[in-house]
Amino acid sequence: MGGSADLVARLTPVLRAYSSDVVHTGGVGTAQVAKAANNLILWACLVADHEALALAQHYGADVEALRRALLMSSCANGPLEKWGSQTMAWAEDDMAIAAEMAAQAGIALPQARVNREICRELKPRRYKLEVYGR
């Protein structure tokens, strides 16, 4: 949550009524930046998960066994844990928000730009590993 430390301290008990995690991210507006950062990482992980699992499937790996093993490794991530359930409904909007924020800040986000394009292509074919990249 963004805002002054006093405000966050006063509102935390109310926020905990419906959220187990309340983090003070800094001044006003920083929570929006935190959400954009979360979404950039979310979509990057989902793209990487698709690519890794599509490659593994092509070479005959048991994708579900590999997915469980990867969850015990350094590449464990939320989309991999919840594999098959992400609709990608908000991917384009999330990536557009991050792109606009980066443009306003004068920061280039080349991976985010590439991931946005991949997400556009991936959305209608998500979790169809046999056709990924073809």
* Percent residues over pLDDT 90 in the chain: 96
What pLDDT does 34 receive?
96
Q: Is the pTM of this model over 0.85?
A: yes
- Per-residue pLDDT at 119: 94
What pLDDT, on the 0 to 100 scale, is given for residue 33?
Answer: 96
Q: What is the pLDDT of residue 133?
A: 82
What is the pLDDT averaged over residues 60-82?
A: 97
Residues 92-120 have pLDDT tens digits of 999 999 999 999 999 999 999 999 999 99
Residue 30 near residue 2 (C-beta atoms within 8 A):
yes
Q: Does residue 132 surpass a pLDDT of 90?
A: no
Task: Encode pLDDT of 10-23 as tens digits.
Answer: 999 999 999 999 99
Give the mean pLDDT of 57-82.
Answer: 97
CATH number of the domain located at residue range(s) 29-131 in this protein:
1.10.1040.10
Q: Is the pLDDT of residue 134 over 90?
A: no
Give the contacts of 50 (CB within 8 A, at least 6 positions apart). 122, 126, 127, 129, 132
132 backbone dihedrals φ, ψ, rounded to 5°: -65, 130
Res. 50 pLDDT band, cuts 50 70 90: very high
Which residue's entry shows tokens 């890794």? 52
Q: Domain spans of the chain?
A: 29-131
Instruction: Give the mean pLDDT of 80-94.
Output: 94
